[in-house]
Each structure stands twice: as C-alpha cells, then as structure tokens.
Amino acid sequence: MAGLNVKPLGDRVVVKPLEAEDKTKGGIILPDTAKEKPQEGKVVAIGKGKTDEAGKLIPMEVKVGNKVLYGKYSGTEITIEKEQYMILKEEDILAVIE
C-alpha cells in the first residue's frame, strides 16, 4: 500500500476493502465463494473534490485513513500489485466509521 501510484480524479476515492469474515457468528467456516462482498474499507487516496456549476471546488469530506462503509455494489474493483482496491465516487460512501 505504501507504493500506491494511483491518484483518483475529481470526487473519486480509492478504498482498500477490509477482509470478509472467514466464519459465521456460530463458528462455521465459510469458503471464499460464500463470503459476503466486503462493504467496509480504509481510504488510501482521494481526488481533489467535485467542481460545482460555477466552477468552485467542493472539497472532499472523507480523508485518507478514514474507515468507511460503502454500498454493496458500488464502485469499480481494481488490482494493483496483487492487492485489491475499490474506486468509488464520494457519493457512494454511506458513512465514516469512527
């Protein structure tokens, strides 16, 4: 992650998804095909922000390092140096987890 050379444009965010659970709450071990797609991740890069109709830059609300919750089918999955990431629009982020 230290050598991530991706700079998202506009109001896009690069998120490193957190690992999906390997077990259910009851202790049943899940195979990879049965795991839920992760919906939590850590922000690793952000764009400059969105530009409104008047040309004014609206800064990003999320910051690098924030732990976020995003929509299940949001964004685009990418692989960089064998690591999985998501590129999302800031509006696809549902919440910052504190």
Report which of residues 95 and 29 the model is more confident about.
Answer: 95
Mean pLDDT of all residues in 12-35: 68
Domain boundaries, the chain: 12-18+36-97
* pLDDT exceeds cutoff 70 at 21: no
Q: Could you tell me how far CA 29 lies from the centroid of its own chain?
A: 25
Which residues on neighbouring strands pair with residue 43, listed in sequence order? 15
pLDDT grade for 35, boundaries at 50, 70 and 90: very low
Of the candidate CATH numbers 1.10.8.100, 2.60.40.1240, 3.40.640.10, 2.30.33.40, the domain formed by 12-18+36-97 belongs to 2.30.33.40
CA angle in degrees (0–180, nearest 5) for 4-59-10: 55
Summarize pLDDT for 47-97 with one digit per residue, the tens: 999 999 999 999 999 999 999 999 888 899 999 888 999 999 999 999 999
- pLDDT band at residue 27 under the 50/70/90 scheme: low
